[in-house]
Amino acid sequence: MKRHSRLCGALLSLAVAAPLTAAAQDRGRTDGPEESEYGKGGYSGSNSQGVSLQLDWGAAINDKEPPEDAPSGPPLYVGATLSLWGADWFSLDASAAYVFDGGRFIGMVGPKFRTWGWPLVFTAGLRAGAIVIPEAEGLRFGISPQVGAEILMGHRDNILLGLNYNPDIPIGGGGVTHRLGMSIGYRF
């Protein structure tokens, strides 16, 4: 009788343990960066999507001399950029900048593309939006191509340091503003 109960107990424990060990042996893919695995080889999610906020500043030079009644200031600008990341290589940017010389306000929206690489990536984008030009008495639609480079830093590549060049081109006159600047941002 003892032999039958031992055999039934062994079969019962084997029937319970076999599916548990089979599930534990099921493997996932681990073709990503080191130390990014969890559980059975999957990933907790990449940093490719999300939001980043940047502070922008630098030199701004107008093609035309502003009239005497326009605000005067140094050839500098300050601004901010909010980026919605669709992937590591693509983001949708909304930016605003104020140019001190001439008092221009620039508000633009558009895509930005990044090259593959780490920690240095090159960027190119095209933004469109509003340019407020006090000397031209009002609001102009404009485009702003962008080229630059960014360095990704931090434990999860969430600190962005960048250099970029933007020519802000108003449609309908007013002169081009050339902005050469730096940025520092954080990716959430």
Q: Residues 52-85: pLDDT tens digits?
A: 999 999 999 988 776 666 677 889 999 999 999 9
pLDDT at 118: 77
Residue 22 confidence (pLDDT) above 50:
no
The pTM of the full predicted model, rounded to 2 decimals, is: 0.70
For residue 142, give Cα distances in angstroms to 80, 132, 135, 171: 18, 10, 16, 5
Residue 180 confidence (pLDDT) above 70:
yes
Contact 97, 106 (CB under 8 A): yes
CATH 2.40.160.20 domain residues, the chain: 50-187
Q: In terms of Cα–Cα distance, which of 72, 122, 97 is closest to 178? A: 97
Residue 126 confidence (pLDDT) above 50:
yes
pLDDT at 174: 77
Architecture of domain 50-187: Beta Barrel (2.40)
Q: How far apart are CA 126 and CA 115, in angstroms?
A: 15
pLDDT at 71: 74
Phi (first) and psi of residue 14, to 5 degrees: -70, -40
